[in-house]
Amino acid sequence: MKTYKIALIKGDGIGPEIIDEAVKVLDSVASCFDFDFEYEEALMGGCAYDVTGDPLPQETINIALNSDAVLFGAIGGVKWDKLPREKRPESGLLRFRKELGVYANLRPAVVYDELINASSLKPSVVKGVDLMVVRELIGGIYFGEPKGRDENKGWNTMVYTRDEIVRIAHQAFKIAMTRSKKVCSIDKANVLDVSQLWREVVEDVAKEYPEVELSHMYVDNAAMQLIRDPKQFDVMLTGNIFGDILSDEASMLSGSIGLLPSASVGAKIGVYEPIHGSAPDIAGQGIANPIATIASASMMLRYALGENEAADKIDNAIKRALKEGYRTKDLAAYDAKEVCSTSEMGSIIANYAAK
């Protein structure tokens, strides 16, 4: 019997509720295989600041580094918005990514047929969408120097080195090899020097993957094409800020931000988290949609632990719950047969996943 050590960072707002449901599903699926989980909780975000004065205590980094993978809920909330920037929950998250070295953020956007009417776009445009944003996560303008501000001026710098581009490009091409073998690299090479280098280096890396078809697109055009014809995309390779923006846009193709998972990988320990935020306005009411977090747990099984069969079981259980008409409140207007609470949805999926 194998025991996987999972660091649980529940975070703020709805974080604890949705992580609890993912744990329920993980334990349920594990009962069908010869592995189980040992969880260790760690604080990050506003809750960590409240207890320790630091949104990312060192102990949290230690617990994460001592695990096989990190399952992460969500952080932040209006309560901490007035704090100086380095004390804010978001700063903790950025430091966490950097400390772990997770440079590749994988954000799939999949449209579930059962929820085709939930999208704000026409069914004919979104039916069958299945794309993956591969976003560079620990470089670019988020971290570049110089940066600063004074009374009348604020400045940040977008920097990428060849090595940083090479490693994220490899991730994108490797993922494309397991999918439809298309990479569209996003940049602003008509304006930015950093993007010119990006494009050249991506071209170089592409030579090692002759089966993969590479195209390039300016980021403004990509934002437009995602809405016009999202089915043209398989893997979208982006820098940090372009991927931040485009992955939010891509997520809405599916109709609910409550559905989509993500994985941050590239280092020894990966971080698996829903793409949505902590939604403090609905926290504690039992109405949050746990599916994105449950799907993140499935990505963790697949990418961190190599338990593909168990991951398939969870993915199929999510599809089955949606197909049978179970909906949390956010999706109640879309072909719901039964509207259920956060914990009921977790139990339904846990039950299907164990079959």
Q: Catalytic positions, please?
A: 142, 188, 220, 244, 248
- Residues 250/107, Cβ–Cβ less than 8 Å: yes
Angstrom distances, CA of residue 312 to CA of 35, 302, 316, 350, 354: 16, 9, 6, 13, 11
Nearer residue to Mg ion within complex by CB, 44 or 310: 44
Binding site for ligand IPM (CB under 6 A): 90, 93-94, 244
Centre a 10 Å sphere on the Cβ of residue 255 and count the other Cβ atoms it contains.
Answer: 21
140 versus 346: smaller Cβ distance to ligand IPM: 140
The C-alpha atoms of residue 332 and residue 135 are separated, in whole angstroms, by 32
Residue 94's binding partner among ligand IPM, Mg ion, none (Cβ under 5 to 8 angstroms by kind) is: ligand IPM
| Enclosing H/E stretch for 273 | strand 271-274
Choose the contact partner of 20 out of Mg ion, ligand IPM, none; CB within 5 to 8 A by kind.
none
Q: Are 217 and 199 in contact (CB under 8 A)?
A: no
Q: Which residue is nearest to ligand IPM (CB)?
A: 90
Report the nearest approach of ligand IPM to the CB of residue 109 (Å): 13
Q: How far is the CB of 46 from ligand IPM (least distance, A)?
A: 12
CB of 100 or CB of 321, closer to ligand IPM: 100
- The angle at the Cα of 266, spanning 265 to 269, to the nearest 5 degrees, equals 65
Q: Which does 93 bind (CB under 5 to 8 A by kind): Mg ion, ligand IPM, none?
A: ligand IPM
Among Mg ion, ligand IPM, none, residue 90 binds (CB under 5-8 Å by kind)? ligand IPM
Q: How far is CA 206 from CA 107, 195, 233, 240, in A?
A: 21, 16, 17, 20
Least Å distance, CB 98 to Mg ion, is: 16
> In sequence order, what are the beta bridge partners of 315?
none
Closest distance to ligand IPM from the beta carbon of 269 (Å): 17
Q: How many CB atoms lie within 10 A of CB 43?
A: 24
Residue with the closest Cβ to Mg ion? 244
For 136, the 3-state DSSP assignment is strand
**Restricting to residues 216-245, which ones interact with Mg ion according to CB under 5 A?**
244
Q: With respect to Mg ion, which residue has the nearer C-beta, 164 or 244?
A: 244
